[in-house]
């Protein structure tokens, strides 16, 4: 959540900061600002609203000149979205400015202590307490700013990613991290700081990932990393996998539509080198060292949030079906707070697109503290969860910019499918059964390509339901989690109230909602639950509910019962979520566009939830 970008070097910083903030817009925000050191002054511009509003203000007032600066997009936690609460924040004399992601949990106590020392507060933010604390430490000790920042952070309880610049030292940029991601970009005589890779890729591919409790001091001549406890560190420079083209819209109106349409390629990238038809096996290099432990697991606990939690539910079905290992799926946000019972032989597997989700990372740390093997399924290479788990599998889905996850969901389900099949090798599946399963998996990208040809049909369906106030999504078995995901997509981006249920649960409450104004989406694939789902459809039709059904190609049995029937390529039951979710993504997208919603940046939401 929020976004930080900073630069020190030889280039004019104004455009670097503003373009960087635009690259970070997908993270979610309600205000934006920049601070630039130039001509012996610290110039700060910030305001409520979009980065485009800030750009317009700066253009009307004249661009700021300078080669050192920081920028921020804020997602409000403490204090309303307004100009005063926007970042950057400055100390009393205006000699240094700070931007901050995260939550200072003891800011109330710090604020009270600082008020007693005569400090006044202009904002309602926790960040301003940190600014004044640094100022107070520096006044009391006469230390250099970087040392005052370090000592101040030893008094902070909570999470932070910060960047600091000072007019008194125009060759200094300070950044530190505790629980909120920061990446250092390394160029020739120039350095960048950012919350993620998006602002960096057009400038450099060389990056350093900061860990919790680390502080970096950047000068044009080089950088130095220390711990908050003042231990000097040697950090490895790695290369970004992202390309600039991947974070551009490439002619699509929205990132979400682009990412839906990229799914055939993202699925192919996800299985490349892993799905080995000729060898009749799955190769998951990231799990090789722990595969024996995973196969011997007494129980697998999957922790995730949001869309990743829905993928985890599919994973529960998959692993239990193929590996015959008991699986429990937990909301990561609840996992550590209920004092979970973990035993020898358990494995905790976490799923996160960003690899930075605060609750999911906390679940990893809770499991590791109890000595439990932890595995990660993440998309972002070098992310905190990827570094802190014992082993894992990358999605290789490419950057996902749209807040509503699409291609990451299908890649997560595909990775979980491959994990389940890997666990079944030479155990629960015969060679012939494995060959058939792998063949079916290999066909999924082409079937998704065929599905995407239904875009116009789904646009027409969306037109009929664009004014609906409520939706109900129903599915069974492997497609119950897809019903949950379809409902989440609709409410995330169109703000229509939608609920997902197991179809059999309809008679235990939700059927009371059915009338002619209630659209009901059924996932009715011709599998072992098909006849039961058809009975549910008939019950809704009898109450004048408006039914949209997703079923197999060639199935004409539902035409008389449904307003619309969406026919998709047939596949094995365990692979159906990879197909049935795609029409629901497109339906949600078109409804949201027709309602005039901001599809890529829905209100109140952030792409990566890095604070609790």
Helix (H) or strand (E) holding 373: strand 373-378
Q: How many CB atoms are closer than 10 A to CB 505?
A: 14
Rounded to whole angstroms, how far apart are CA atoms 163 and 122? Answer: 20
CA distance 421 to 418: 5
Strand duo 497-502 + 470-475: pairing: parallel
Q: CA–CA separation, 12 vs 10, rounded Å? A: 7
Residues 260 and 452 sit within 8 Å (Cβ to Cβ): yes
Alpha carbon distance 545, 473 (integer Å): 12
**Which of the residues 258, 422, 447, 607 is marked catalytic?**
607
2 is catalytic: yes
Active-site pick, 2, 270, 562, 597 = 2
* Residue located via tokens 């001549």: 221
Q: Which long-range contacts (CB under 8 A, 24 or more apart) does 385-388 make?
A: 385/350, 385/352, 385/355, 385/356, 385/357, 385/360, 385/361, 386/355, 387/209, 387/211, 388/361, 388/364
Structure tokens at 59: 């253009």
Alpha-carbon dihedral sign for residues 111, 113, 115, 118 = negative
Question: Parallel, antiparallel, or unpaired: how do β-strands 222-227 and 214-219 relate?
Answer: antiparallel
CA separation for the pair 168, 151 (Å, rounded): 19
CA neighbor of 318 nearest in space, from 422, 448, 440: 422
Residue 421 has which token pair?
């099949």
Active centre residues (catalytic): 2, 607
């Amino acid at each position: 959540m929020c976004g930080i970008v900073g630069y020190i070097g030889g280039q004019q910083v104004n455009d670097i900061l503003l373009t960087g903030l635009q690259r970070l817009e997908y993270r979610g925000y309600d205000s934006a600002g920049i601070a630039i050191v130039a001509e012996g002054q610290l110039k700060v511009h910030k305001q409520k609203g979009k980065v485009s509003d800030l750009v317009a203000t700066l253009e009307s007032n004249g661009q700021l000149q300078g080669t050192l600066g920081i920028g921020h997009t804020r997602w409000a936690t403490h204090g309303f979205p307004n100009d005063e609460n926007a970042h950057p924040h400055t100390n009393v004399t205006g000699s240094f400015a700070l931007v901050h992601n995260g939550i200072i949990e003891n800011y109330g106590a710090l604020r009270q202590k600082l008020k007693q020392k005569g400090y006044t507060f202009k904002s309602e933010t926790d960040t301003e307490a940190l600014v004044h604390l640094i100022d107070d430490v520096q006044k009391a000790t006469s230390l250099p700013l970087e040392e005052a920042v370090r000592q101040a952070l030893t008094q902070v309880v909570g999470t932070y990613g910060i960047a600091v610049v000072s007019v008194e030292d125009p060759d200094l940029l300070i950044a530190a991290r505790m629980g909120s991601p920061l990446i250092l970009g390394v160029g020739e005589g120039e350095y960048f700081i950012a919350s993620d890779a998006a602002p960096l890729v057009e400038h450099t591919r060389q990056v350093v990932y900061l860990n919790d409790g680390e502080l970096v001091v950047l000068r044009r001549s080089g950088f130095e990393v220390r711990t908050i406890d003042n231990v000097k560190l040697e950090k490895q420079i790695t290369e970004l996998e992202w390309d600039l083209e991947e974070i551009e819209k490439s002619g699509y109106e929205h990132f979400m539509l682009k990412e839906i349409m990229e799914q055939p390629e993202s699925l192919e990238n996800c299985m490349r080198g892993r799905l080995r038809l000729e060898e009749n096996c799955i190769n998951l290099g990231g799990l090789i060292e722990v595969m024996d432990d995973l196969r011997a697991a007494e129980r697998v606990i999957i922790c995730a949030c949001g869309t990743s939690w829905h993928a985890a539910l599919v994973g529960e079905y998959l692993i239990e079906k193929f590996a015959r290992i008991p699986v429990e799926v937990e909301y990561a946000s609840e996992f550590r707070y209920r004092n979970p019972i973990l035993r020898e032989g358990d494995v905790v597997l976490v799923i996160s697109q960003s690899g930075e989700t605060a609750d999911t990372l906390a679940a990893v740390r809770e499991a590791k503290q109890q000595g439990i093997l932890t595995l990660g399924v993440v998309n972002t290479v070098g992310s905190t969860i990827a570094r802190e788990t014992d082993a894992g599998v990358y999605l290789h889905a490419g950057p996902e910019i749209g807040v509503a996850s699409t291609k990451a969901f299908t890649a997560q389900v595909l990775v979980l499918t491959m994990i389940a099949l890997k666990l079944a090798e030479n155990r629960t599946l015969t060679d012939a059964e494995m060959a058939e399963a792998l063949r079916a998996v290999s066909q999924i990208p082409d079937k998704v390509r065929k599905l995407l040809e239904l875009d116009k049909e789904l646009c027409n369906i969306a037109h009929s339901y664009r004014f609906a106030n409520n939706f109900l999504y129903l599915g069974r078995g492997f497609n119950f989690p897809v019903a949950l995901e379809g409902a989440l997509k609709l409410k995330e981006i169109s703000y229509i109230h939608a609920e997902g249920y197991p179809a059999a649960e309809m008679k235990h409450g939700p059927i009371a909602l059915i009338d002619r104004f209630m659209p009901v989406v059924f996932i009715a694939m011709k599998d072992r639950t098909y006849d039961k789902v058809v009975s549910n459809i008939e019950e809704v039709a009898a109450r004048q509910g408006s039914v949209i059904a997703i079923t197999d190609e060639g199935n004409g049995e539902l035409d008389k019962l449904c307003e619309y029937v969406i026919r998709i390529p047939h596949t094995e039951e365990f692979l159906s979520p990879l197909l049935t979710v795609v029409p629901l993504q497109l339906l949600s997208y078109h409804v949201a566009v027709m309602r005039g919603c901001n599809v890529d940046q829905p209100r109140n939401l952030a792409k990566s939830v890095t604070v609790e």
